[in-house]
Amino acid sequence: MAKSKKTSVDRRGFLKGAAAGAAALVAKPELASAQQAAAPNRGANGSAAEPTQVALARETGGRPAESSRVIEHPGSDYMVDVIKSLNIEYLAANPGSTYESLHESLINYGDNKMPEFLTCCHEESAVAMAHGYAKIEGKPMMALIHGDIGLQHASMAIYNAYVDRVPIYMVVGNHSDGARRNAGVQSLHSAQDLGALVRDYTKWDDEPLSLGHFAETAVRAYNIAMTPPGGPVLIVCNAEIQGDPIQGPTPRIPKLTLTTAPSGDLAAVQQAAKLLIDAERPQIVAQRMARTPEGMALLVELAELLQAPVNSQERMNFPTRHPLAGTGWQGYQPDVTLSLEVGDILPQARTDRSRGAKTINITAVSLSHKSNIQDFGHYADIDLDIGADAQATLPALIEEVKKELTADRKRALQARGVKLAEAHKKAWDDQILQAQYGWDSSPVSLARLSAELWPLIKNEDWSLVSPQGFIGNWPNRLWKFDKHYQYIGGQGAGGMGYGAPAAVGAALANRKHGRLSVSIQTDGDLNYAPGVLWTAAHHRIPLLTIMHNNRGYHQEVMFVEEQAALHNRGGDRSHIGTKLWDPNIDYAKMAQAYGMHGEGPITNPDDLVPALKRGLEIVKKGEPAMIDVVTQPR
Ligand SMILES: Cc1ncc(C[n+]2csc(CCOP(=O)(O)OP(=O)(O)O)c2C)c(N)n1
C-alpha cells in the first residue's frame, strides 16, 4: 500500500479551514442553532462522543473547529488501492456522507489520482453515465452512491443496465453499526440490508465486514459484472470500514482473473450449423450480441458463409451497409432463424412456428435468471436452445459451417447472396426516397435532421451515442455504421431518463480516443435529470446534443390517441398530460445555464446545417454544445 502523504503542513491547513468553518457559523447563528437541534453529535465515524461545536462545524463549515483526532491511515485508503488495482478509469457520483471517508481518500490519497471523479447532479445520472460508458468501452466505470436515498434515486438506471446486460461497478455507503451511527441522517440513510433495495435487478451484491473481505468482494464484483451476461454489481461499503484506522498490515489484494465466457455445447453447435446450411431462407437476428469489436467481425464472417440476412438490433454488431444487412427481399419468409442474445424470444419464435420454421437461440441470459422482475418475457417453445454466450459460441459455429459446407451448397448460397444484395440495395434506395417526404416541413422532419447531419460527420471518427427507437431509426436507415463504437443502442428496460446521461457517459469513453460524439436527444428524456448537462460542461466532455424537441412525450400521445379511438372518442384532448408546451421549454437557455453553448429553437429546416456546423466546431474543440431543433413527432 502506498504511504499517506499527510504532513504537519497539512495539519496546519486543516486547523485553518476549521477556523473558517467556525467563523461561518458565527455569521449564521440561526442556522447553527437549528442544526444543533436537528443533528446530534457524531464522531468521524459516527461515534456519539464528539463535542457539539465540532459536529456543528462539520455540518456547516465542513471541518471540525477543533479535534484531537486524526486518522492517519483510514481503511478507505486501502479501498482506493483495491479499486485502482481494477484499473477503473472513472467514477461518477453525487456526494453523500455515507461514503465521506472513501470520497476523501479517492481524491487525496496516493500519487496517481485515478479514477477521475465526475460530479453528478443525480444518482440516476451517475449510473446511466456508467451504462453509456460501458457500451463504448466494454468495461465498467464506478458509480459511487450515497446510502439508501441515493440508491433509490439510482434504481431506475440500475434496472435499465440490468436488462441491457451491461456491467456497472457500484459502491454504496452505509452506516451499518447501529451503536455507532447517530439518530439523524446517518440512521435515515442507512439500512440493515441495503442491497435488498435493488437486488432484484443487480447481478450480484455484497456487504463486506472487514478490509480483507472488501478486497475479495471488490475483485469478485468486477469479475461478476464482466462475466457474460454482464450486469450491474453493488458493494455496500460500511462507514466503519471506510473510516476506522487500518490495524496492522493490510490484506493482500487478490489478482483479477476474468472468467471466460461460456460457449455452446459442441453437439448443439453442430446441429445448429446443419440447420443453417440446409435452410432455404435463413435469417440471423442479432440483438445484444457483440461485447467487443471481435463480435462484429465474427458475425460478418458467419453471415457471409451462410449468405444469410442479418437483422441487427440494440448493439453495433453488423455494418449497416453490408449487402447482407436487413431482412431479405420482399416476402422473404425465413425457414430457420438464428437468434443471438435476443431478450424476449417469443415474438420471433411464434412467427417462426406459425410458418413451420425453426428457431435456434443462443444466449447466456438463460443461465442467469432471477425471479421477481419479468424481463425474461414469455416461455417460448423453440427448436434448439443453446445456453451460452453468443459471441463466444460463434467461432465454433463458424468452424462447423465451414466443415459441413459442400462446394455445391456454397454455389447455391452465393446465388441467394446475390439476390439478398439486390434487396439490400433496393431497401437503401427506398430509404433515401422516403427521407425526402416532408423535407421542407416545419417542424423539421427527423429524416431531414439525420440526412443533413450525416455529410457533416461522415469523414470524422464519429459515434452516435443516443438510442434510435424514438427518432424513426433514421440514422440506421441513412448512415453507414461499420465500427463497433458507432452506436450504443437503447435503454435496456425502456426506462426514460437514460438517453441524456448515457450519451454523456459514452462521450466520456469516446473522449480519450478523440472521437466525435453526437446525440439526437428526445425532450421528455432530457427533462428527467437535465443536470447531466452541467456534468458534461464541467468535465469538458465533447458531445453535440441535437434536441429532438417534439414538445411532448409523443409515445404517450400516441397511446392516449389509440385509447381514444378504442373508446370511440375523439383524440383532440390527447395532449392533456402528454405535451410539454405552454410554456415551451427553452433548451438553448437550458444549455447555457448549465455552462455550454446552446442555440435554437430551430424551426426553419434551412437554418439547420449552419447551426449544426457551429455546434460541431465547438465540440471538435473539446466542449459540449447543444442545438435545439423543433421536430416532427417521430
Ligand atoms: C421512467 C419512465 N417513465 C415513464 C415512461 C413512459 N414513457 C414511455 S415513452 C415516454 C415518452 C418519452 O418522451 P420523449 O423522450 O420526449 O420521446 P417521444 O415519445 O416524444 O419521442 C414515456 C413517458 C417510461 N418509459 N419510463
CB 402 within 8 A of CB 305: yes
Identify the CATH number of the domain in which residue 567 sits.
3.40.50.970
Are 407 and 354 part of one and the same domain?
A: yes
Please give the pLDDT value at position 355: 87
Distance 160 CA to ligand 1 centre (A): 14
Q: Which of 125, 496, 523, 545 to mutate to test the pocket of ligand 1 (most atoms within 8 A of CB)?
A: 496
User: Which is nearest to 468 in space by CA: 417, 519, 423, 543?
Assistant: 519
Ranges of H-type helices in 461-601: 474-478, 499-511, 523-526, 532-538, 554-566, 587-593
Are 362 and 443 part of one and the same domain?
A: no
- Is residue 192 in some structural domain? yes
- Is residue 260 in some structural domain? no
- Is residue 151 in some structural domain? yes
- Is residue 505 in some structural domain? yes
Rounded to whole angstroms, the Cα distance separating 487 from 312 reads 12
Are 57 and 128 part of one and the same domain?
A: no
Please give the pLDDT value at position 54: 52
- Domain termination residue (choose one: 190, 209, 243): 243
- Is residue 114 in some structural domain? yes
Rounded to whole angstroms, the Cα distance separating 308 from 285 reads 10
Are 54 and 79 part of one and the same domain?
A: no
Q: Which residues of the chain have pLDDT under 50?
A: 1-52, 55, 65
Rounded to whole angstroms, the Cα distance separating 11 from 192 reads 36
- How many domains does one find in the chain? 4
Are 455 and 499 part of one and the same domain?
A: yes
Ligand 1 neighbours (beta carbon < 6 A): 156, 470, 494-497, 522-525, 550, 552-556
Question: Whose alpha carbon is nearest atom 9 of ligand 1?
Answer: 555
Measured from the Cα of 497, ligand 1's closest atom is: 1
The answer for residues whose C-beta is within 8 angstroms of residue 567's C-beta and 6 or more apart is none
Distance 463 CA to ligand 1 centre (A): 24
Structure-block grid coordinates of residue 18: 476549521
Distance 575 CA to ligand 1 centre (A): 14
pLDDT digits (tens, 9 = 90+) for 456-504: 999 999 999 999 999 999 999 999 999 999 999 999 999 999 999 999 9
Measured from the Cα of 525, ligand 1's closest atom is: 15
Q: Residue 183, class by beta-carbon neighbours within 10 Å (0-12 exposed, 13-18 middle, 19+ buried)?
A: exposed
Are 379 and 523 part of one and the same domain?
A: no
- Is residue 70 in some structural domain? no
Are 578 and 488 part of one and the same domain?
A: yes
The answer for residues whose C-beta is within 8 angstroms of residue 560's C-beta and 6 or more apart is 571, 574, 577, 578
- Is residue 248 in some structural domain? no
Rounded to whole angstroms, the Cα distance separating 305 from 405 reads 9
CA distances from 466 to 74, 471, 484, 547, 551 (A): 41, 10, 14, 11, 18
Q: Which of 553, 561, 580, 581 to mutate to test the pocket of ligand 1 (most atoms within 8 A of CB)?
A: 553
- Is residue 251 in some structural domain? no
Measured from the Cα of 495, ligand 1's closest atom is: 26
Q: Residue 302, class by beta-carbon neighbours within 10 Å (0-12 exposed, 13-18 middle, 19+ buried)?
A: buried
Please give the pLDDT value at position 66: 52
Structure-block grid coordinates of residue 46: 459516527
Distance 581 CA to ligand 1 centre (A): 16
Please give the pLDDT value at position 45: 37
Rounded to whole angstroms, the Cα distance separating 605 from 299 reads 39
For residue 476, the number of C-alpha atoms closer than 13 Å in the C-beta half-sphere is 22
Are 116 and 174 part of one and the same domain?
A: yes
At residue 328, the 3 state secondary structure works out as: coil
Query: Which strand ranges, in their side-by-side order, compose the sheet holding 204-206?
Result: 116-119, 90-93, 142-145, 168-174, 232-238, 204-206
Please give the pLDDT value at position 295: 97
Distance 548 CA to ligand 1 centre (A): 13
Residues for the chain: how many in total?
634
Torsion-angle region of 264 (φ positive above 0: left; ψ -120 to 50: alpha; else: beta): beta
Distance 499 CA to ligand 1 centre (A): 11
- Domain coverage including residue 196: 75-243
Identify the CATH number of the domain in which residue 342 sits.
3.40.50.1220
Are 163 and 225 part of one and the same domain?
A: yes
- What would the 3-class secondary structure string for 449-488 be? HHHHHHHHHCCCCEEECCCCHHHCCHHHHHCCCCCCCCEC
Phi, psi (deg, nearest 5) at residue 355: -115, 20
Are 444 and 425 part of one and the same domain?
A: no
Are 182 and 148 part of one and the same domain?
A: yes
At residue 10, the 3 state secondary structure works out as: helix
Distance of CA 15 to the CA centre of its chain: 42
Please give the pLDDT value at position 13: 40
